[in-house]
Structure 1
């Protein structure tokens, strides 16, 4: 799918991987619409990209009505949708039992699943419905692409990551069946599983903490760049034969228990 003048939706586009994805998509010729609960951060991304290229709405991805309102705003602004990238999510930690053997509050587990997994599905289903209206594009006759964000924690969850790993494992698990569901419409579905990425949150950590995180990365011996996530999204859009796949973006890391 050629990105020039295509319309992309990026959730969590106000910061981190989402913002970098917006930058790469606009550089490739696309226009982006951002869903983000942080209105100020989303507005900063829009201002950086230019209002001709970007717009945003305050959206809670785990809330059905909020997502519906966001899609109404997207349709009003751009009229169509070709690419959806789900970057919105939360990183949580908590062992199933604490030091006093008290169980993790169920609400903590449920919140992580609701934002990361249910939220991604909530947006993807609405995106698919809008993409289904598109005329077939290119030689492959595709109508759109959905990219969800998993994590290496889906495969090697660390101590305290029961909820987070379950949420990201669910994204991996739904990638192929979602691609199968939408194949007859020419809509592809893939997932990216990032490793240790150099987002502002991680780069603000003490240097010794950053060194510990990088220790198990094979090559290159550094954190991943958010731009590299955005680059992979652009490549997935251009390569119509990648479908139903989860791609690790991790420098060869395999996470240890802690």
Structure 2
């Protein structure tokens, strides 16, 4: 599917991997609708990118907030005439916590809800609200494609560490729903792809101590470094452009397998 002159709705689009993706798609001629809670950063980025970018302050754990953002994006599409070609569900959080701590206290259910509501529920809610505006697109190309959904899981979906029960559950669920989502959308010519990155440079990794970073490097095969956001963005663009990528989870980890503990 061509990236140029299509609108992509990107949650978490004001930071991290989702922002790198937005910049990459925009550089290829896409229109990007950025959904994020950080209004200062979001408005700044939209202003920087220019007329092919729009920001919507959005809490992906809130259905009405997503609805307003999607409706705003669709209204913008009507102005530009550039159909919604894809959704990049990039909003996500991590909140470590052992299922039972050293005091024999269970992890608060509020912590579990926080992670699941953003990483899993927020992903599905955004997709279900955006898809009806994609199913009516004019089919393009010999296969009659209408669009693509790209989700973000994590290597924690497969080899999560201690303290990552809620996070691994949320990302494992995203990985698991990829194939049935692709099957649900196949009749409309809409694909579903999930990318599962390992350690990438982000605000989260910048907060890690040198000891933790060194421990992570020991678990890396090659390259022995964190991934660059631009490397992630390249795989998103490939997922958009390659019609045979569908219903699959792509690990982007340099052969890294996380140890049980750091």
Q: Report the TM range for the smaller structure's normalisation.
A: over 0.9
User: TM-score scaled by structure 1?
Assistant: 0.97
1:192 matches 2:195: yes
Inter-partner Cα distance in structure 2 for 1:199 and 1:30:
24
The partner residue of 2:112 within 105, 109, 114 is 109
Count the aligned residue pairs: 257
Equivalence for 1:170: 173
Number of the residue aligned with 2:141: 138
Cα distance in 2 between the residues matched to 1:47 and 1:164:
33
Native 8 Å contact 1:61 1:88 kept in 2: yes
**Distance in 2 separating the partners of 1:71 and 1:14:** 16
**Equivalent residue for 1:62?**
61
- Give runs of aligned pairs for residues 65-80 of structure 1, distance below 5 A: 65-79=64-78, 80=83
SS of aligned partner of 2:117: helix
Shift of 1:212: 2.1
Structure-2 residue corresponding to 1:148: 151
Q: Distance in 1 between matches of 2:66 and 2:59?
A: 7
Deviates more, 1:151-160 or 1:40-49: 40-49
Q: Residue in 1 aligned with 2:18?
A: 18
Taking structure 2 as the reference length, what is the TM-score of the superposition?
Answer: 0.95
Output aligned runs, 1:1-258, within 5 Å: 1-50=1-50, 52-79=51-78, 80-258=83-261
Distance 1:44 1:91 in 2: 25
Quote how far apart the aligned CAs of 1:204 are: 4.4
Question: Following TM superposition, where does structure 1 have runs of at least 4 consecutive aligned residues deviating by more than 6 angstroms?
Answer: none
SS state at 1:8 partner: strand
Local SS of the residue matching 2:219: coil
Unaligned runs of 5+ in 2: none
